[in-house]
Every structure is written in C-alpha cells, then in structure tokens.
Structure 1
Amino acid sequence: MSSSPHVGDLSGKDINDIGEILTKTYKSKNSKTISVDKATLDSIVNRMSIGDYVVVPDDEYVYIGEIVTDYRYDKSKATGDGYPHQRGIKWINNPILRNDLTLDLRSSLKSPRTSAELTHRYKDIQIALGEVTEDKVEEKEFITVEYPIRPDVKVKIEIPKDLKKSESERVGEFIKTIFFDEAE
C-alpha cells in the first residue's frame, strides 16, 4: 500500500506559503481545488481565533462550537484517517436542526467550500444558540475610521467600537487580499 502525500505542520505559514506547499505536494490537483484547499487551511491555521464560533453542518443537523485552542498539527491523523490540521472546539448545546436556523444562516451553509467566513451571521448564530431572540438582538455601535492611501484617496472602514485585537488582525489580513492591479 502506497501512502499518499500529505501536508505537514503549517505553523508560521501564511496563505502564500500554504499555496506553494499545496501546489508542490499535489501536482495533479487542478488550480481551483488547490485554491479552495489553500483558503480552508489558511482559515484553520491563521484566521480563526480562540473564542470564535464554528458552525458545522451534518445532513439535517448543525453543530455549533467555540474554538478553544490555537492551531495544532496532529501527525497521527495525517494517514488519511482524519484531519491533522486542527483547532480544539468546545461544542455548545446539542445538535440543532438545520431547519430551525434562520434562513440567512441556512443559506450561508450551502457554500460548496469546506470553510466559510460567517462573521456577518453572528446574530443568526446567537439566535440558534438561544442567546438572544430575533427581536432583541443587541445592536453594535460602530465608528468609521479613515486612512489615506494616496494623497487624493482615503479608505473608510466601519468597525465596531469594541473591535478586538484578533479581529483587527483578521481585517488587516483580509485587506491584504484586495487589489486589482499589480503595478505600483
């Protein structure tokens, strides 16, 4: 029995490093598959933070948990019997029927990717967990910050007044991915 190649520990690797490793390891995979895998692994390794929620659909049920550890690599799971790239999760409540979720959250879970950013569905996750009712969701206070990127151009970003450091870092990483022209 030949073992298939696998990607080792990705601690300290950024999204570009992860993409290069995947391309070298899985030469026969197409670029679209590599791109999806790269985004998924980058989410697990770099973008998730302790305290974030995860929403895991499983047929007609959905499991919701809270991330409780930093990224870790479990070599024993790299044999095809599991997932070696991990975050520790504390599962919250019992499984929830998919049909009991808000329509917006259900729609977000139809993504064909194995990982998707659901920060914009935080209210819906709170509702699913019974933390708030739909009509009593606390509205966050936001501020608009401006940053000059050229002498005649300022970027405006609306952020919550209680922005956390880990959230700020994730926004920074997201902004690094937005560009339309390689020329300086």
Structure 2
Amino acid sequence: MSTQKEYRRIMLGRKSANAADGLKEGWIAAGFLYDIDLTGKFPPTFQEFNATMRDVYLKQNPEKSKVAAGLACGMLHTICHGANLGDVVLTPDTDGNIHFGEISGDYIYDPTYELPHKRPVRWFNKAVHRNDLSDTLQNSMGSVGTVSNVTKHAEEIEAILGDQQAPALTAKDPDVEDVSVFALEQHLEDFLVKNWPATPLGKTHNLYAVEGESTGQQFPTDTGPIDILAISKDGTELLVVELKRGRASDRVVGQIQRYMGYVAGELAEEGQSVRGVIIALEDDIRLKRALSVAPNIEFFRYQVSFQLIAGGAA
C-alpha cells in the first residue's frame, strides 16, 4: 500500500444527497454490498476484492453489468481500505460547495444507515465553490462514479487548504521531456474528450460507456487511471489512449501496455481485441524503436496552434 498522500473526490450518495450527514457526523461512506459487514474482508488489492465480491454484487443487482459491478467493488475497496490515513478527500454538497478533509480512521460497518460502509474523516474548516476551482480540477471532479482520484491536482488543492494562490503550471511527469508548451496544453485531455467525434479516432471509436454513462475519461485501473478509453463502433476493439504533453519517452510504452493488459484481462469480452494509442507533441528514436516491436500500439502527434491577430474588428 502506497504511503504517498493521495487526493480523491468522494460523492456521498447520489447527487450528494448524503453529504450533509457525512459533514456533520465526520465520515465518508458507500452503499454497495449494503447488507454485508466487510470487517476483515478486504484483501490488499481491489482485484482480489473484485474476484471475491463481484458476483455477490451482481446477485444483489442483477440488472448491472460485469464491468459496472467491478467498478462498484473497486470504488468500495478504495473508500474502505485502499485509501490511507491522512489521505485528503474532497466532497461536494448539494449547493456546489467542495469540502475538504482527511481520512482519520479505519473501516466501520453501520447497518443502521443507508450507506453502511464508513470511514471516519476529520473535516477541515474549508469550503470553496466548484466554480472557484481551475477548469482542469473541475473536470476531474466531474468524473462519473463515487470515487475520482484527483492527486494530479495536489498542488492546487494544497494551495486552497493553505489559503495560498494556486501555483503556476509546471510539468512534473517524468515521461515528459519538453515542457515549453505545457501551459497551453493543460486542457488537452478535456479538449479531446469534448471534441472526440471530430478527431480521427472519434471517426472509428466511441468513448467507453458503462450502462449508458460515459466512463471513458480517466477510467480507473489497478495501475492508475487510463487517460481515455474508447471502443470501436462495431464493438470489436477496445482502445487505450495515453496522452503526453511535450515529447514522449519510451517509458510510456510500458505504461500503456500495463493499461492494455488490464483492459484485456478485466474488460474485454470474447472476440474483442485491445489496441493502444500514444498522443504527444513529439517522439524520438527511443520511442520509435520501442514501438517498432509493439504493433498494437500507434503514435499520434498533436499540434498546438496560437495566433495573435493585429488590428481591430474585421
């Protein structure tokens, strides 16, 4: 289990219906597997938990798909066991305010409450409206599901908690070797998702969805979130898209292969293949060599355009 502090958005009930209770009583909670006391039943990884509990979840919710069951069990494991003491949680209320706290205790089963699986939280005396967050953090906060990992926004969150100005954008990703255009590209992922149908990939693939809800952005896996997950329009191919701002190094090949392995093992149905796409500003000889023996991974180059137009209105 990682000792590095992580940051997660946690929804308390559908549309934050249970947020007031959690904020008042000091907890986060989940309602999956509602009638089972899970004390002592959490293995180290959510894959092991899924293997044990996914079928149990499907018996309680026969209308749900296998993928939806896996996502629900994964989120339950994260809330109740995977999150460490001291990890920071961000919880929206029904008015659009975001509340901050840290996990302060271990799992508790409370059968008297509609969300029985709880973790104690020490809430900070801090709340900001969603509109006061950066666009990129807002988008991460809006991801589908009970849990969304927003650790990549740690600097902005810590600046809010410290009443400081949010830090200037920097690139700390070790796979990025050219960061000169990083600030212009901060919305790359969101731009691609919002404009997906107009992209070359969007002509052949749709963003991945589970039971009608799009889950294709930041899809959770056991080795980190997939930037974009898509499925071919004929349903025969799952596409893993990894975005790198600046120049991508050969290390990204191993990263995307891990994600592809997860998709092949956990999501792909019989007859479905898995392909990978790396999107970056530039590649280099090391990346080209690595991809030369990875025929199921393709490289795309993007271009950032910036113009200044002199004069007044045309």
Taking structure 2 as the reference length, what is the TM-score of the superposition? 0.40
State the Cα deviation string for residues 56-105 of structure 1 (Å, max 9, x = none): 1123211111100112211211xxxx310111011112321111222221
Task: Look up the match of 2:156.
Answer: 124
Q: 1:124 to 1:15 in 2, by over 3 A?
A: farther
1:94-129: per-residue Cα shift (whole Å, max 9, x none)? Answer: 321111222221111111211111221211211221
Change (3 A) 1:40 1:175: closer
CA distance in 1, matches of 2:50, 2:65: 18
Structure 2: 5+ residue stretches without partners: 1-32, 43-48, 175-220, 225-257, 266-314
User: The residue matched to 1:87 in structure 2 has which SS?
Assistant: strand
The 3-state SS of whatever aligns with 1:75 is coil
Measured in 1, the distance between the counterparts of 2:154 and 2:141 equals 13
Q: How does 1:1-40 map to 2 (within 5 A)?
A: 6-11=34-39, 12-13=41-42, 14-40=49-75
Shift of 1:22: 0.7
CA spacing shift, 1:18–1:120, aligned 2, 3 Å = farther
CA contact (8 A) 2:156 2:167 kept: no
Counterpart of 1:103 in structure 2 is: 135
Q: Are 2:115 and 1:83 aligned?
A: yes
Assess, with a 3 A threshold, how the Cα gap between structure 1 residues 135 and 26 changes in structure 2: closer, same or farther.
closer
Decide whether aligned partners of structure 1 residues 17 and 131 sit closer, same or farther in structure 2, where only a CA change above 3 A counts.
farther
2:88 pairs with 49, 53, 60, which one? 53
Q: For this pair of structures, how many residues does the alignment match?
A: 144
Task: Please list the CA deviations of residues 12-46 of structure 1 after superposition, one character each: whole Å capped at 9, or x if unmatched.
Answer: 23232232321222223333542332222121122
- The answer (yes or no) to whether the contact 1:105–1:121 under 8 Å persists in 2 is yes
The unaligned stretches of length 5 or more in structure 1 are: 143-172
* Secondary structure of 1:135 counterpart: coil
Tell me the distance in 2 between the aligned counterparts of 1:28 and 1:135: 45
TM-score by length of 1: 0.64
Greater alpha carbon shift after TM alignment, 114-123 vs 13-22 = 13-22
Identity %: 26
| 1:73 maps to which of 76, 95, 109 | 109
Max Rg structure: 2
Instruction: Return the alpha-carbon distance in structure 1 between the equivalents of residues 120 and 141 of structure 2.
Output: 21
Q: Distance in 2 between matches of 1:128 and 1:17?
A: 39
Q: Which aligned runs of 4 or more in structure 1 are off by greater than 3 angstroms?
A: 30-33, 175-178
Counterpart residue type for residue 110 of structure 2: D
How far, CA to CA, are the matches of 1:16 and 1:51 in structure 2?
A: 28
